[in-house]
Chain A
Amino acid sequence: MRGSLSFLMRTATFPASFNQLDNIREYVNIFTKEAGMDDPGRCAVEMAADEACSNIIEHAYTGYSSGVIECTIEFDDDSFTIVLHDHGSPFDLTSVPLPDLSEELENRKIGGLGVFLIRELMDDVKYENRGQMGNFLTLKRKISRIK
């Protein structure tokens, strides 16, 4: 049963606003469970999806109130992949500089923390701007990864 259905894609579209983050996380959680990921893996994917969508909502759709984020999930026995598609301004989070995590309290910057988390929690992060087609952010994590 699992063999023949092991490669499936599921897509859902969400309004690009912060109040949708809970729905997006819930959506992702359904499939990390179905994919048989362990709890740390599921938490990692949930957080990465949240951080990535938060960035899209904040940066790609500044000023727009009617943007959407299309979330496509695919997984097989090896890895779990989320593709986030939006039509906002290009925001390549793979080019955001990483924050200095050793800075003392007053100098600590929050900017870049979300991006850092996405890169730590996922095994592969790819951003692509396809012009009129919009932006595609692909997040991939190995199901067997330990922490």
Chain B
Amino acid sequence: MEINVQEFKHCDLLAINGKVDSFTAPDLIKAIEELQNNGKYKIVLNMEHLEYMSSAGFRALLIGQRNSKRYNRGELVLANVPQKIMDALELTGFTPLFKIFSDITTAVGNF
């Protein structure tokens, strides 16, 4: 798994590339945490090149969202979610917890 972060005026764009499972999920948690520790709570998660995500990844998303939404400091939104991951998010009841966008421009525009 590879993480790329791009700073925008009103949010940060974090691209999750590759596979997120129990082995790599801690790195995702860390990457999101790092942004938040620097006062960046408005984050677009770009899943365009996300090949796989298990519940370990969902946990990372949940932890990140809780931190961002606490005290209304911001939120995590999802962009370019691959269909099979969308199916899993729906199955596990995660879709109500995140705004989901079909492209980056609209996602960034959310902020």
Q: Which residues of A contact B (CB under 8 A)?
A: 18-19, 21-22, 25, 39-40, 43, 46-47, 50-51, 54, 57-58, 101-102, 105-106, 108, 110, 113-114, 116-117, 120
> Contact partner of B88 among A25, A39, A47, A54, CB < 8 A?
A47
Task: Tell me the B18-59 residues at the A interface (CB within 8 Å).
Answer: 19, 21-23, 52, 54-56, 58-59
Q: State how many angstroms separate the Cβ of A21 from the closest Cβ of chain B.
A: 5
**Which residues of chain B from 44 to 91 have any CB-CB distance to chain A below 8 Å in the complex?**
52, 54-56, 58-59, 62, 65-66, 69, 84, 87-88, 91
Minimum Cβ distance to chain A for residue B89 (Å): 11
A113-B92 in contact (CB<8A): yes
Residue count of chain B within 8 Å CB distance of chain A? 21
With A and B bound together, what is the CA distance between A54 and B52 in angstroms?
15
- CB-defined contacts of B65 to chain A, threshold 8 Å: 105
Let me know if A108 and B97 touch, CB within 8 A.
Answer: yes
B22 touches A21 (CB 8 A): yes
Considering only CB atoms, which chain A residue lies closest to B63 in the complex? A110
CA distance A112 to B88 in the complex (A): 15
A21 to B69, CA, bound (A): 32
A116 touches B21 (CB 8 A): no
